[in-house]
Amino acid sequence: MAIRDVQERFARLVFGKPLPTTDISHQTSSNPVALAVLASDAMSSVAYATEEILIVLNMAALSTVGLFGFMGNAASIPLAIAIALLITIVTISYRQTIFSNPAGGGGYRVAKENLGEELAQVTAAALLLDYILTVAVSISAGVANLISVAPGLQPYRVVLIILIILIMAVINLRGTKESARLFAIPTYFFLVTMGLTLLIGFFKLATGTLGTVTGLEPLEADLLQPFTLLLLLRAFSSGCTALTGIEAISNDTQLFRQPRAKNAANTLVAMAVILITLFISITVLANAVQAQPIHGGETIISQMARTIHGSEGIGYIGYVITMAGAFAVLFMAANTPFADFPQLAALSSSDGFLPRQLTYRGRRLVFSWGVYTLVVGSIFFVLITGGIVTNLIPLYAIGVFLGFTISQSGMVRRFWRAGHLKPGEHAWGLETKIVYDPGWILKIVISGIGALVTFVVMIVFIITKFADGAWAIVIMIPVLVWIFFRIHRHYKETAARLRLDEVPIFAHKPVILDPTTHKVMAIYFCDTWSKLAVNVVNAILKRGLPIQIIHVDVDPKRTAAFNRRNAEIIEANGWSPDVFRVIDEPYRDLYSSVAGVLKTLRVQYPDVYFEVYIGALRTRFPFTLLHMSTDRFLRDAMVEVEDVALNIKQVNIDSIPLPPGFKVTFEHATDHHQEAHEEHSAAPPVPPAGS
């Protein structure tokens, strides 16, 4: 059995059978399942948001200081109410985002549409970092709750976190629909167990039978800080981690069934109601049982559940089940980034700001390279922070609230434009139509308040958490944006250098294979027509070899462009259509297609020697990483067929001059007509290496 066969059997066992590209439209879920997948991140935030508030308040001399009548750590209650109000504002804003951008993309599309590519890439950097850190934070918090129940696992904290991340990756690589159904179970298990715990807690509180937590060594500050506005803002900002994940639904509306916008908006509202209810309830009961934050020890959720249920008999079973639910939802919260990170990375990649590999779908229609990137990034942050949630939070929140601020600022500009149109008039953003909105003033106020408050929260995080690690994110986001634009410049320059402005005219006619007289045939696997492709074809034609130009159809849009250019070449050069051949590949498996083509040709022409040609781009490091090595796939596929040679026509992309007057430009939202919009959308894609 060949190594390739062993690999395929293993992949089928672990990930499942390949799914055809036509199944993309079926990879959707009902509202309840989508809620479990996309809202688990936001709902899980309540498992540590209250604790983050109490950690800050515990550092202050609060015993004789109150906030709106709430003394000591009870000041967390009015803070939780204020955060709940902010959740409401942000939810309304993202609901507006969904209806404005029903195709998904959330804050990224809003920024691109209304503020331009520059801020869109800032949003992309912030959100991608947010998703990576969400995986690290959520699973670290879940393991922290597990350690609260089983302290003996403390030495294995990092190992457990990494193991769970890898398990999550494998499950998600099995496909969106399958993973969504599987992951809905633990999310609803958490809602049921936590809901019952809170109901029992409030019943005991109302009847005066709720006790206080015992057996604690609370977190103590070396020096109590004075109760100041800055400390209050710091506690508020720390509690705003409860907002993380709210944007997830607007980012991945493609998961919903039609009508997508309506279903996504309704699910967003349901998520906000659940989130606010859980957050305020946990904060109230945590104060009622006098829970105290313990660095690296028992969590607030564990203290509250232990006090409500008790530590003996049936009560202890209830406590363990509640903690299992908390662990499950924190575990599941990491699934939201596994759904959204690959989507956003593919979107940015299709715009030319990230490597093209991130747009490639794997065997189960998942953007596999996005999943791999997410796994590597999250494990990196776990290793450098030791998997301690409090160490991760300073890194986590800045990107979240930067994304919130830019997204809501973009909506302010959109509504401003809509308000200055006349009824019946419309304008065009980069991708969507903007029409007059009679409620534009109220919508501007809502989004404006949300943008202002989230901006303040971000600044407070930067100031108060800078020395704790926030400096890394402050540096990392601009660096990522710089990298994105360097990648974009490379792709733009590559496209400009390789683009065919006119239909190519060839000096030689292609030879059609006659197996009775020809003993050698040239086979050129061509992804798209470019100057590189013309060089390869000219090299073959000069040798006078019979030629077959084959395109493997893994993307209908690229295939359509290839066929259009073929028709132009046939008409301009008088070629026979038999020179060209398109191979349908429903499973996006280049290896299998190439091997299958060569095997079929070998059976058809047993005495003909095949010379396989491909074009390859050569460029300087690190830009070589931005192109797929097509020759590797072809080389492996050719092993299965006898009498085949591989010829690689390399072109140094840097040696091809740029067109006169070339300049890298970026898109900005401007009023324009539909025709211009469609012309922009029809721009030819950038050819990858091996074209």
- Here the CATH number for the domain that contains residue 211 is 1.20.1740.10
In a domain, 498, yes or no: no
Q: Is the pLDDT of residue 691 over 50?
A: no
pTM: 0.83
Query: Rounded distance, CA 4 to CA 361, Å?
Result: 20
Q: pLDDT for 541-567, tens place per residue?
A: 999 999 999 999 988 888 999 999 999
Query: For residue 622, is the peptide bond before it cis, meaning its omega torsion is within 30 degrees of 0?
Result: yes
My answer on whether 153 and 214 are in the same domain is yes
Q: pLDDT for 101-133, tens place per residue?
A: 887 777 888 888 888 888 999 999 998 998 898
Q: Is the pLDDT of residue 266 over 80?
A: yes
Least confident of 355-364, 423-432, 599-608: 423-432
Domain coverage including residue 219 = 36-490
Contacts of 522 (CB under 8 A, 6+ apart): 540, 543, 545, 546, 547, 548, 611, 613
> What value does the mean pLDDT take over residues 349-362?
90
Indicate the pLDDT class of residue 614, thresholds 50, 70 and 90: confident
Last residue of a domain, one of 436, 468, 490: 490
Last residue of a domain, one of 474, 490, 506: 490
Predicted confidence at residue 128, as pLDDT, reads 93
Q: Is the pLDDT of residue 352 over 50?
A: yes
In a domain, 464, yes or no: yes
In a domain, 31, yes or no: no
Predicted confidence at residue 682, as pLDDT, reads 35
Indicate the pLDDT class of residue 520, thresholds 50, 70 and 90: very high
Q: Is the pLDDT of residue 61 over 70?
A: no
Distances (CA, A) of 268 to 179, 396, 414: 20, 22, 21
Indicate the pLDDT class of residue 535, thresholds 50, 70 and 90: very high
CATH of the domain at 662: 3.40.50.620
In a domain, 513, yes or no: no
More confident residue, 69 or 206: 206
Query: For residue 684, is the peptide bond before it cis, meaning its omega torsion is within 30 degrees of 0?
Result: no
My answer on whether 182 and 281 are in the same domain is yes
Indicate the pLDDT class of residue 633, thresholds 50, 70 and 90: low
My answer on whether 371 and 304 are in the same domain is yes
My answer on whether 524 and 485 are in the same domain is no
Most confidently modeled range among 102-111, 292-301, 311-320: 311-320
Could you give the angle at the alpha carbon of 348 between the alpha carbons of 342 and 349, nearest 5°?
A: 80
> What value does the mean pLDDT take over residues 50-65?
70
My answer on whether 429 and 574 are in the same domain is no
My answer on whether 455 and 593 are in the same domain is no
Query: Rounded distance, CA 585 to CA 593, Å?
Result: 7
My answer on whether 537 and 408 are in the same domain is no
Query: Rounded distance, CA 259 to CA 251, Å?
Result: 16
In a domain, 228, yes or no: yes
Q: Is the pLDDT of residue 573 over 90?
A: yes
Indicate the pLDDT class of residue 13, thresholds 50, 70 and 90: confident
Say what percent of the chain tops pLDDT 70.
Answer: 89
Predicted confidence at residue 226, as pLDDT, reads 60
More confident residue, 257 or 685: 257
Query: Rounded distance, CA 182 to CA 193, Å?
Result: 18
Predicted confidence at residue 465, as pLDDT, reads 78
In a domain, 262, yes or no: yes
CA dihedral 33, 34, 38, 40 (to 10 degrees): -20
In a domain, 499, yes or no: no
Count of H helices and E strands in the chain?
Answer: 24, 9
Indicate the pLDDT class of residue 503, thresholds 50, 70 and 90: very high
More confident residue, 217 or 392: 392
Q: Is the pLDDT of residue 284 over 60?
A: yes
My answer on whether 486 and 570 are in the same domain is no
Distances (CA, A) of 291 to 135, 213, 254, 320, 533: 26, 6, 41, 18, 69
Say what percent of the chain tops pLDDT 90.
Answer: 31
In a domain, 539, yes or no: yes
Query: Rounded distance, CA 219 to CA 623, Å?
Result: 49
Could you give the angle at the alpha carbon of 396 between the alpha carbons of 395 and 397, nearest 5°?
A: 105
Please count the structural domains in the chain. 2
My answer on whether 446 and 583 are in the same domain is no
Q: Is the pLDDT of residue 177 over 70?
A: no
Contact between 576 and 512 (Cβ < 8 Å): yes
- Find the helix or strand (DSSP H, E) in which 556 lies: helix 556-573
Indicate the pLDDT class of residue 60, thresholds 50, 70 and 90: low
Mean of pLDDT over the chain: 83
My answer on whether 529 and 485 are in the same domain is no
Q: Is the pLDDT of residue 478 over 90?
A: yes
My answer on whether 323 and 191 are in the same domain is yes
My answer on whether 485 and 539 are in the same domain is no
Query: Rounded distance, CA 47 to CA 40, Å?
Result: 11
CA 94 to chain centre: 17
